[in-house]
């Protein structure tokens, strides 16, 4: 995959990336709350590997990660506009997701450590940084 990868392939990559991240978290917390088994551990490792590989193909090899994380001085006017819109949209989505997680905890009265150990915050950090380039991958025909 390179920066000229079709929008359809980039969209599939974004879906695979976030689906594998979600399944990784789901299986991880099932194991964390319940009991770890060999099958569960293998599932967690497989989805983590798929998330990592899809990140490399969707964000790194296409150059979208670099585009979304470049300073304004290194971008032309079109790139500035594209990244600005992607950042605006991304952080709106990110804020809503974080608020939904907090609402879930408030409504359920859950005060345990399961949702707030290191894995969820690290996943949210990854999500916050990858979402702008995912929006660009999803929306832009030419990048």
pTM above 0.75, yes or no: yes
pLDDT of residue 111: 61
Of 10, 9, 21, which is closest to residue 51 (Cα–Cα)? 21
Q: What CA–CA distance (Å, rounded) separates 39 from 136?
A: 36
Closest among 10, 139, 138, 133 to 64, alpha carbons compared: 133
69: three-class secondary structure by DSSP = coil
Instruction: Give yes or no for residue 119 having a pLDDT over 80.
Output: yes
Is residue 107 over pLDDT 70?
yes
Residue 1: which pLDDT band, with cuts at 50, 70 and 90? very low
Judged on CB neighbours under 10 Å (0-12, 13-18, 19+), 109 is exposed
């Amino acid at each position: 995959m390179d920066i000229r990868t079709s929008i359809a392939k980039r969209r599939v990559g974004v879906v695979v990336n976030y689906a594998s991240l979600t399944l990784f978290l789901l299986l991880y917390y099932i194991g964390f709350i319940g009991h770890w088994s060999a099958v569960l551990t293998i599932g967690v490792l497989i989805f983590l590997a798929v998330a990592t590989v899809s990140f490399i193909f969707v964000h790194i090899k296409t150059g979208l990660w670099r585009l979304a994380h470049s300073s304004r001085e290194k971008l032309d006017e079109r790139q500035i506009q594209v990244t600005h819109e992607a950042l605006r949209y991304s952080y709106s989505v990110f804020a809503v997701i974080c608020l939904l997680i907090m609402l879930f905890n408030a409504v359920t009265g859950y005060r345990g450590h399961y949702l707030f150990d290191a894995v969820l915050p690290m996943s949210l950090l990854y999500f916050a940084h990858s979402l702008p380039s995912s929006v660009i991958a999803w929306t832009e025909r030419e990048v």
